[in-house]
């Protein structure tokens, strides 16, 4: 049997564009208005200028890019988004998106099942994790308007920012040496009776740490507080948690089903383009807080329109279509999309093992997911800061095929001491190195990445 050829994005784009143009033709031809007519040569010239300007980017698509949480979407997601964008449905109402509303319902059910949420959850897609978290915190405020919102010191800054937007008070809970929220510190705050909602992060954006969710839920219930899970980055690791993460980490992923609300970003590990987030609520009665009316929007169907349960108004149906198509190829199973997550996790574990035996580099802490933090074996905080910065800058120089792109992460002297890393504290903080290994191709690229960074560290430390 002949082997099937691999996906070729230009062919997929040709396929979907032709299909959508054929669909348009079935409604009859019409003349494009003169106000939007431009010549092909004019448009082509603008697009050539665009692609030239896009060269002023880092190679987010390449496994030598291991810096921020950036990677290219899957070709099927690109083609599906483009096809749907040509029609431009708006998933605010069924009137404006009958097909993609159904697709959104479908993908939400799949993601809710991944988290083991009940069938009668309330939720929708969003433009981003920031918007999704805003909604979750807004509901927290509406349910308990006089209560505070607690989150770990390593939680994403969106929680403090959105608390300011909502006019609520947020409380930052210290972390332990593993980057997880301190349960003792949390209980101290809960005992005051002032905390209404605890935000647990499963996959912090700095360290990739997983807050002890199962224990947080137990504590929160004891003190009558709600629990919101921000797993924008780490949520899809639920697919491999039971069999491939540590038992302790897996225990906390398993507890997601008991949380009051969950946020996840398909544009991170779901192979999607920006922006694509999602928010889920276990208690459907919170829908009352979204209640509003529109004299011109909800008429074609008596079914629930997404606009009736979201803060956003217009929202691209193309996002729902892209996720729907992607999950057709990569179902939410360990063997489906989970195989992508397993490769990224393997990459982090492999690099961690190399760092442990390096003479010039050392790990900052053991990775829980696929984010790894590490540092040159400097003797002083100032030297650590400068060498880390020089590695960051020099690794990305030279011919493109030789470049390696990593990031830095600011730590305090006390954080190093917590992890048993001794250093002369001639300054209070310093940059270390951080790599996000979120592309499955990173699994094979770890030796190259490590070798380049190790060679630079050896030269800079000598």
Which sequence spans correspond to the domains of the chain?
84-287+306-329, 337-461
pLDDT in tens, 303-339: 888 888 898 989 999 999 999 999 999 999 999 999 9
Closest-CA residue to 352 (of 437, 225, 441, 461):
437
- Report the pLDDT value the prediction gives residue 292, as an integer from 0 to 100: 72
Checking if the pLDDT of 2 tops 70, the result is no
- Report the pLDDT value the prediction gives residue 4, as an integer from 0 to 100: 81
pLDDT in tens, 390-427: 999 999 999 999 999 999 999 999 999 999 999 999 99
- Report the pLDDT value the prediction gives residue 461, as an integer from 0 to 100: 97
Q: What is the rounded CA–CA span in Å between residue 197 and residue 144?
A: 8
Q: What is the percent of the chain with per-residue pLDDT over 90, rounded to a whole number?
A: 92
Structure confidence at residue 296 as a pLDDT band (50, 70, 90) = low
pLDDT in tens, 248-265: 999 999 999 999 999 999
What does pLDDT average to over the chain?
95
Mean pLDDT of 189-216: 97
- Report the pLDDT value the prediction gives residue 18, as an integer from 0 to 100: 97
Contact criterion met (CB below 8 Å) for 243 and 217: no
Choice among 27-31, 272-276, 293-297, 323-327 with the minimum mean pLDDT? 293-297
The larger pLDDT score, comparing residue 95 to residue 364, is at: 364
Checking if the pLDDT of 1 tops 70, the result is no
Enter the tokens of residue 151.
């989150």
Contact criterion met (CB below 8 Å) for 359 and 450: no
Q: Which residues contact 286 (CB under 8 A, 6 or more apart)?
A: 122, 139, 142, 143
Q: What is the rounded CA–CA span in Å between residue 330 and residue 346?
A: 19
Phi, psi (deg, nearest 5) at residue 150? -105, 140
- Report the pLDDT value the prediction gives residue 115, as an integer from 0 to 100: 98
Same fold, 84-287+306-329 and 337-461: no
Q: Which residue has the tokens 């040569």?
A: 41
pLDDT in tens, 105-116: 999 999 999 999
pLDDT in tens, 54-89: 999 999 999 999 999 999 999 999 999 999 999 999
Checking if the pLDDT of 301 tops 80, the result is no
Closest-CA residue to 152 (of 224, 216, 82):
216
Secondary structure string (H, E, C) spanning the chain: CCCCCCCCHHHHHHHHHHHHHHHHHCCCCCCCCHHHCCCHHHHHHHHHHHHHHCCCCCCCCCCCECCCCCCCCCHHHHHHHHHHHCCCCECCCHHHCHHHHHHHHHHHHHHHHHCCCCCCCEEEEECCHHHHHHHHHHHHHHHCCCCEEEEECCCCCHHHHHHHHHCCCEEEECECCCCCECHHHHHHHHCCCCEEEEEEEECCCCCCCECCHHHHHHHHHHCCCEEEEECCCCHHHHHHHHHHCCHHHHHHHHHHHHCCEEEECHHHHCCCCCCCEEEEECCHHHHHHHCCCCCCCCCCCCCCCHHHHCCCCCCEHHHHHHHHHHHHHCCCCCCCHHHHHHHHHHHHHHHHHHHHHCCCEEEEECCCCCEEEEEECCCEHHHHHHHHHHHHHHHCCCCHHHCCECEEEEEEHHHHHHCCCCCECCCCEEEEEEEECCCCCHHHHHHHHHHHHHHHHHHHHC
- Report the pLDDT value the prediction gives residue 391, as an integer from 0 to 100: 98
- Report the pLDDT value the prediction gives residue 340, as an integer from 0 to 100: 98
- Report the pLDDT value the prediction gives residue 408, as an integer from 0 to 100: 98
- In CATH, what class is 337-461? alpha beta
- In CATH, what class is 84-287+306-329? alpha beta
């Amino acid at each position: 049997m002949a082997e099937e050829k691999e996906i070729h994005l230009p062919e997929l784009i040709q396929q979907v564009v032709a299909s959508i143009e054929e669909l348009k033709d079935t409604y009859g031809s019409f003349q494009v208005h003169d106000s939007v007519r431009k010549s092909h040569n004019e448009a082509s010239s603008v697009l050539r200028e665009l692609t030239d300007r896009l060269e002023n980017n880092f190679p987010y698509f390449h496994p030598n890019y291991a810096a921020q949480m950036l990677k290219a979407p899957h070709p099927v997601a690109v083609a599906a988004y483009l096809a749907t964008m040509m029609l431009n449905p708006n998933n605010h109402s069924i009137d404006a998106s009958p097909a993609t509303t159904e697709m959104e319902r479908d993908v939400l059910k799949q993601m809710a099942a991944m988290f083991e949420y009940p069938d009668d959850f309330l939720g929708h897609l969003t433009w981003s994790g920031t918007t999704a978290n805003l909604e979750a915190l807004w509901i927290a405020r509406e349910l308990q308007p006089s209560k505070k919102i607690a989150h770990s010191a390593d939680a994403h800054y969106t929680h403090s920012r959105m608390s300011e937007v909502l006019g609520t008070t947020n409380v930052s809970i210290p972390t332990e040496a593993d980057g997880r929220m301190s349960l003792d510190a949390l209980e101290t705050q809960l005992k005051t009776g002032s905390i209404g909602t605890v935000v647990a992060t499963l996959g912090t954006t700095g360290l990739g740490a997983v807050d002890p969710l199962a224990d947080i839920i137990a504590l929160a219930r004891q003190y009558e507080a709600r629990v919101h899970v921000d797993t924008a980055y780490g949520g899809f690791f639920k697919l491999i948690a039971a069999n491939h993460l540590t038992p302790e980490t897996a225990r906390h992923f398993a507890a997601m089903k008991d949380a009051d609300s969950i946020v996840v970003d398909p544009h991170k590990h779901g192979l999607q383009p920006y922006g694509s987030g999602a928010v889920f609520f276990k208690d459907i009665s919170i829908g009352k807080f979204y209640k509003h009316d529109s004299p011109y929007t909800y008429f074609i169907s008596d079914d629930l329109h997404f606009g009736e349960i979201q803060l956003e108004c217009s929202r691209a149906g193309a996002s729902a279509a892209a996720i729907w198509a992607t999950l057709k190829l990569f179902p939410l199973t360990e063997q489906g999309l989970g195989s992508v997550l397993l490769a990224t996790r393997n990459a982090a574990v492999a690099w961690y093992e190399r760092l442990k035996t390096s003479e010039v580099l050392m790990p900052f802490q053991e990775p829980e997911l696929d984010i790894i933090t590490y540092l040159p074996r400097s003797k002083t905080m100032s030297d650590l800061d400068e060498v880390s910065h020089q590695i960051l800058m020099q690794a990305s120089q030279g011919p493109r095929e030789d470049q390696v792109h990593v990031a830095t992460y600011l730590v305090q002297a006390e954080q190093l001491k917590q992890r048993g890393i001794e250093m002369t504290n001639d300054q209070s903080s310093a940059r270390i190195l951080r790599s996000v290994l979120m592309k499955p191709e990173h699994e094979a690229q770890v030796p190259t990445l490590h070798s380049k960074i190790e060679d630079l560290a050896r030269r800079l430390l000598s």
